[in-house]
């Protein structure tokens, strides 16, 4: 288990490095078009500064941004006493500080964890999850989310999500500026087109592929870690079986943060294109794995 955690960390760091190199390449290409080789090297510096700025933003405001985008609000300790109690118990069992606890007012059962470290993390669940799950099942879901925090994979996912979101935002701004400018120098127009195209590819193709590479392995690992933490595979097994019956996505979610959820909201809109970018193993596969673990424990 710990070998897999270390391998997952190294893979995550590699993906972030590749993303930074991609931003540097974008800067070089844009600079080269604007001013030749000298401009290209200047563009590399600008690309690196932008990548670092995104990481600094993630460090300072990433968690708050994700929670705000998701419509999460702090869970009142009196109203959600059982939720707080389970989170505190699991945190104690995992040897972690108790994370902040949030709730999203949405009937769809789902949950996610975010943050930069165990000391600055948050666990969020929907009201639909709280209504649908019994205590054992809720414990299984929370164990899954606490495992993301314990496995230290929430930080890199948060940084990558911010990078993807920024690329998509910049691409949108560039395309809009193209249509709003009536007269523009040909070189400037070419620069805007190239930058917009590359940012669009990063936001719509490269970013989701990186999230896919991060999420598939970490979701399977979090399922297994939840069983280890709760010592009860039936809780998460039954929870995933209930979640699998839901066919309604969350009312409010962002494409860049969807991969953080225990059940990716985007994967309810099934067609061939989305299948290419599924960030989670099929839920039937996850259920089968937990059934196999349950069978082994019962023999």
- Encoding tokens for residue 249? 């996505």
* Cα separation, 90 vs 32, whole angstroms: 53
CB contact at 8 A, 98 and 86: no
Whether 145 is catalytic: yes
CB contact at 8 A, 4 and 150: no
The secondary structure of residue 97, as a DSSP letter, is P
- Encoding tokens for residue 233? 């595979």
- Encoding tokens for residue 111? 């949950």
Neighbours of 222 (CB within 10 A): 26
Query: What does DSSP say about strands 72-74 and 100-104: parallel, antiparallel, or unpaired?
Result: antiparallel
Residue 208: left (phi > 0), alpha (psi -120 to 50), or beta? alpha
Catalytic residue among 100, 145, 219, 267: 145
Nearest to 167 by CA among 15, 39, 23, 58: 23
Place of tokens 């066919």: 247
* Cα separation, 92 vs 96, whole angstroms: 6
Give the residue numbers annotated as catalytic, written as ranges: 145
């Amino acid at each position: 288990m710990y070998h897999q955690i270390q391998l997952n960390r190294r893979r995550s760091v590699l993906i972030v490095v590749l993303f930074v190199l991609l931003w540097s390449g974008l800067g070089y290409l844009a600079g080269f078009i604007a001013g030749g080789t000298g401009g290209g090297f200047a563009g590399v510096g600008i690309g690196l500064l932008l990548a670092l700025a995104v990481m600094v933003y993630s460090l300072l405001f990433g968690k708050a941004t994700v929670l705000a985008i998701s419509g999460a609000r702090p869970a009142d300790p009196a109203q959600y006493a059982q939720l707080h109690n389970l989170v505190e118990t699991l945190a104690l069992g995992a040897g972690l500080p108790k994370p902040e606890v949030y709730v999203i007012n949405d009937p769809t059962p789902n949950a996610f964890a975010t943050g930069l470290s165990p000391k600055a993390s948050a666990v969020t669940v929907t009201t639909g999850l709280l209504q649908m799950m019994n205590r054992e099942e809720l414990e299984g879901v929370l164990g899954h989310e606490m495992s993301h925090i314990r496995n230290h994979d929430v930080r890199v996912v948060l940084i990558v999500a911010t990078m993807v979101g920024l690329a998509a935002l910049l691409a949108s701004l560039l395309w809009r500026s193209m249509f709003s400018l009536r007269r523009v120098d040909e070189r400037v127009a070419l620069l805007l087109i190239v930058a917009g195209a590359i940012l669009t590819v990063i936001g719509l193709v490269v970013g989701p592929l990186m999230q896919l590479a991060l999420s598939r392995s970490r979701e399977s690992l979090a399922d297994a870690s939840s069983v280890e933490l709760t010592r009860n595979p039936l809780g998460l097994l039954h929870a995933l079986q209930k979640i699998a019956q839901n066919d309604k996505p969350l009312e409010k979610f962002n494409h860049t943060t969807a991969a953080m959820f225990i059940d990716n909201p985007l994967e309810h809109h099934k067609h061939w294109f989305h299948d290419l970018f599924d960030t989670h193993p099929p839920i039937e596969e996850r259920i089968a794995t937990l059934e196999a673990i349950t069978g082994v424990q019962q023999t």
